[in-house]
Amino acid sequence: MFYKVSVSFHKDYVRVKGDLIEIGIMEKPVNGKANAAIIKQIAKHFGISKSCVRIVVGEKSKDKIVEVVP
């Protein structure tokens, strides 16, 4: 399933509303650390492996589209 993701920094939360995920991360967007944190938190929220979550669009943007495969 594909989700639109909206990222906020300096916060720590995950909210899912339909096909929208609002996520807050503490990592800085340097060298892919923020994207790794996003994948980790989404996987933890859904109770799946990190390899089941993939950023499809927006690797360098605060607005992303991710694919979650159970």
Cα gap 70→66, rounded to integer Å: 13
Q: Which two tokens stand for residue 13?
A: 């939360």
pLDDT digits (tens, 9 = 90+) for 56-69: 999 999 999 999 99
23: number of Cβ within 10 Å: 22
The domain segmentation of the chain, as residue ranges, is 2-68
pLDDT digits (tens, 9 = 90+) for 10-54: 999 999 999 999 999 999 999 999 999 999 999 999 999 999 999
Model confidence, pTM: 0.93
The matching CATH number, chosen from 3.30.1200.10, 3.30.565.10, 3.90.580.10, 3.30.1330.60, for 2-68 is 3.30.1200.10
Query: Are β-strands 20-25 and 53-57 bridged in parallel, bridged antiparallel, or unpaired?
Result: unpaired
Query: Are β-strands 20-25 and 2-9 bridged in parallel, bridged antiparallel, or unpaired?
Result: parallel
